[in-house]
Structure 1
Amino acid sequence: MSFSIEGKTAIVTGAANGVGLAIARHFVNKGANVIFADMDEEQLIKECGEAQDEGNVRYFAGDLRERLTMANLLSATLDAFDRVDILVNGSRQMMPSDPLDIEDDSVERMLGQNMTTALRMTQLVSKRMIKQAEGQEEGQVGAIVNLSSIAARRSHPSLLGYSVSCAALDQMTRSMAVVLAPERIRVNAVSFGSLMSASLKDTLREHADYRDDIEAHTPLGRIAGPRELAEAVQFLSSEAAGFVTGQIMTIDGGRTLLDPVAAPAH
């Protein structure tokens, strides 16, 4: 069974930088048509170039917390490539929380960004997938992959909002997998640990000792590279994973096999 996504059309949100950008670039390299979607238009232009009328790359800038923006993103995708086969919900927000501060709204904000936006995108795009598959009697209709975190299963006081939003995203993944299974649309998530993203690189420059801490709490003894996550997302998007749905694939070097509750997730 092939891992190929060549010729497929994918929307990748959160694609201006970090993990989302790594996945979008990887998909382009594997021959997919890719819409890079993010709020940061300046960074999107930097990464994608200003050309919008040729090749297999397009970008879309807008706040995907707004329903109209989501609809416009789907319309732009269809205008460019006529269909959508893959959705990667990679737009994520991570911020500290104060569990005892009643004025702290970080939980609501991260639930909105990390779970609700992904849910609404899933609802919107899956309807289009179902419509374009009318008359298609067999084969995969679509694949949706959510980006989650091992923080969903760990307890760290300053990550309350992030942990709660990731746990909610994991459950949404399972629920939508059941809902969309009769339509032959698969929904999965990738739950990752420490990944050498741009933000982690910045953190390690300021706190060099964090690297030792991360590696000490990771059985494989290193930090993952973005390509390792991108390849997992490619697998879940491809027909090679045709009988995989509702799963939370953990990519963490074995970190969740250990039990140091106080170890930060970085």
Structure 2
Amino acid sequence: MQTLQIKDLHVAVKDEDTQKEKEILTGVNLTVHTGEVHAIMGPNGTGKSTLSETIMGNPHYHVTQGDIILNGASLLTQSVDQRARAGLFLAMQYPAEIKGITNMAFLRAAINARRPADQPLAISSFLAQLDQALALLNMKSDLAERYLNEGFSGGERKRNEILQLLMIKPTFAILDELDSGLDIDALQVVSKGVNHMQGPDFGTLMITHYKRILKYIQPDQVHVMMGGRIVKTGDAALADRLEDEGYAGLRDELGIDVDLVDAEV
């Protein structure tokens, strides 16, 4: 069993207008083991995407206190590349378009970066795995030859993120708003890909606003973030409650002074 631990994490971001740092995360504590699915829910502006970017090492986010620990070792001094090689993966909310690099070339490079330099994955094995993953996600084979996300629809970009997940086979996947912009058919397909990865050697941290993705990727634990920290943890029934009552009821019950109409961070 491997463990990803977020310990008393405080994170600040520089405000572009004032050039002063604004604290977004105010003490996040969370432990995810392989073999588990965790979901983080919460209103706009509570820091969910800030958490995912910070775990992955985006230098835009400044850790002012706390730690991110993978199997007992701190990741704070490690680059994005080092964290990816260590087994972390981020499916981004808004996948970037990169011209000049094909999907196939990107995937081969990412896979081989995690292997010994003198032991690259054989091209025959790579192509066989790629064909299986494309079929699982109902993706056309010619997408592998296209430049990374160039001209892709929103749904195609999200499927492409899960294609990368299936091929790279990380230890922990952070899925940031995987369900945003997807119709029901596309949601079912990408969920199928994530569920295909589930097992004792893989852990999932999903970030979402809504319950609908939890119908397809069932969580072991649901965490609610408000005001930059986790304020309540429960099982899937907690998501049902939020669907019925919204976040305001839980906010008032816990006596938390937060505005629920802030823009997403």
Q: TM-score surpassing 0.5?
A: no
Taking CA–CA contacts closer than 8 Å with sequence separation of 6 or more, which of the two structures ends up with the larger relative contact order? Answer: 2
TM-score (norm 2): 0.32
Higher helix share: 1
More strand by share: 2
Taking structure 1 as the reference length, the TM-score comes to 0.32
